[in-house]
Amino acid sequence: MIPVRSLITRLVLFYRHASDWIVAQLAFLPLLLLKLLPPDTALNVMDRAARLAGPRFMRGRHLLTLANLRAAFPEKSQSEIEAIAMESWGSIGRLAAEYVFLDRLFDYDPTRGAPGRVEVVGAPIFLDLRDNPRPFIVFTGHTGSFEMLPVAGSAFGLDVTVLFRPPNNATMAKKVYDFRAKRMGTLVPSHAGSSFTLARKLDEGQGIGVLVDQKFKKGLSTTFFGQPVKTNPLLAKLVRQFGCEVYPARCIRLPGNRFRLEIEPAVTIPRKEGGSVDVEATAQLLNDTVERWVREYPGQWLWYHDRWQVKRKLARETNTKM
């Protein structure tokens, strides 16, 4: 006979697994339906749909987007702010469609000279990293179709270990992991021990990829668009430990559902008077790089991030659920 406590535990776990499975199916159903459309049609449809639905059905996120834009661009008019906000919603819709059609959208072949949907700026850097193996870090932000960057690394024959944040839903997390693992090299889910995994990869002479524009409550005090923010010190500490090169990389959406992937030359790491890595200044360098990218293409960044931690205050002022 099964003890009552054990039976209750099993029932709770079954309920959680069943609930996760149902939510995952409902979440992925629209994406499966999206695959019935041609890629270009799907991207355009999702752009328009997100522009219409986002401000109406996610009002809290829309208010946060507008507040973030006003803080970042005080010199811009309200009409300019609203236009960028709408483009950012369209970018979110495009991300969903791009995720579904990643295999068909990414057509860059390093051995072929003919232009395609995807172009790469900085291809010699990719080739140098491949042909002269050494530890390195590539960083990017939530701008453009950033999911394409690790795919580009794989296309050049680079085995880059990528840090990513899986969904809280266990079923969705597995689906996302399986999809990405086939296309993006080695993946490391973001959790308490992930930094040790990344350090081990660098110690083995390999490369890693990280997103650096996420909110990090216990991070270093830095600025972003002139506003105080907390920045994750992980990348800077890894550089201090391994002395590895650091490369900025980004994706830019181009007209006609095309994409430009750019990897820039290695940055010069700030150092203190004694020669050691200046962790705080390095963290600021990351913010400054992402800010430069966002200022160039503001509508391609995800402005609904609570980067400046104003969500709670804004919710109280507007009496809106964020």
The predicted-structure confidence for 173-224, as pLDDT tens digits, reads as follows: 465 546 555 556 677 767 667 889 899 999 999 999 999 998 888 899 999 9
Mean pLDDT, rounded, for 227-253: 95
Residue 17 has pLDDT above 50, yes or no: yes
pLDDT at 235 over 50: yes
Task: Give per-residue pLDDT as tens, 85-109.
Answer: 999 999 999 998 998 888 889 898 8
In-domain check, residue 106: no
The residue ranking higher by pLDDT, 8 or 119, is 119
pLDDT of residue 182: 58
Q: H or E segment at 47?
A: helix 39-57
Q: Which residues pair with 222 in a beta bridge?
A: 229
Query: How much of the chain, in percent, has pLDDT values that exceed 70?
Result: 82
In a domain, 290, yes or no: yes
- Backbone φ and ψ for 134, nearest 5 degrees, come out as -170, 160
Nearest CA among 208, 210, 217, 199 for reference residue 165: 210
Once rounded to an integer, what is the mean pLDDT over residues 8-37?
Answer: 62
Residue 82: inside a domain: yes
Q: Are residues 87 and 233 in the same domain?
A: no
Residues 148 and 45 in one domain: no
Q: How far is CA 97 from the centre of its chain?
A: 15
CA angle 220, 222, 227 (to 5 degrees): 135
Of 30-34, 136-140, 285-289, the poorest mean pLDDT is in 30-34
- Assess if residue 64 is contained within a domain: yes
* Residues 296 and 152 reside in one and the same domain: yes
What pLDDT sits at residue 203? 95
290 against 155, higher pLDDT: 290
**How far apart, in Å, do the first and last CA atoms of the chain sit?**
48
Whether 47 maps to a domain, the answer reads: yes
The predicted structure's pLDDT at residue 259 = 97
Check whether residue 229 and residue 310 sit in a common domain: no
Do 248 and 152 share a structural domain? Answer: yes
**Is there a domain that residue 107 lies in?**
no
- Residue 92 sits in the same domain as residue 154: no
The answer to whether residues 24 and 95 belong to one domain is yes
Confidence of residue 5 (pLDDT cuts 50, 70, 90): low
Query: In terms of domains, do 253 and 218 share one?
Result: yes
Model confidence band, residue 11 (pLDDT cutoffs 50, 70, 90): very low
- Computed over every residue of the chain, the mean pLDDT equals 86
Same domain, 96 and 134: no
Residue 181 lies in a domain: yes
Same domain, yes or no: 85 and 133: no
Name the residue with higher pLDDT: 113 or 270.
270
Comparing 114-118, 123-127, 212-216, 289-293, the range with the smallest average pLDDT is 114-118
Per the domain annotation, does 167 fall within a domain? yes
Q: 305 near 215, Cβ under 8 Å?
A: yes
Residues 80 and 46 in one domain: yes
Query: What is the C-alpha to C-alpha distance for residues 45 and 38, in angstroms, rounded to an integer?
Result: 11
Tokens at 45, concatenated: 């449809």
Q: 128-158 pLDDT, tens per residue?
A: 999 999 999 999 999 999 989 988 888 888 8
Counted domains in the chain: 2
CA distances from 92 to 10, 108, 181 (A): 38, 23, 22
Q: Which domain holds residue 17?
A: 4-101+305-318
Share of the chain above pLDDT 90, in %: 60
Distances (CA, A) of 204 to 21, 96, 232: 37, 34, 23
The reply to whether 226 and 84 lie within a common domain is no
> 292 exposed, middle or buried (CB, 10 Å; 0-12, 13-18, 19+)?
exposed
**Each residue of 256-281: pLDDT tens digit?**
999 999 999 999 999 999 999 999 99
Range among 10-14, 17-21, 73-77, 160-164 with highest mean pLDDT value = 73-77
Confidence tier at 14 by pLDDT (50, 70, 90): very low
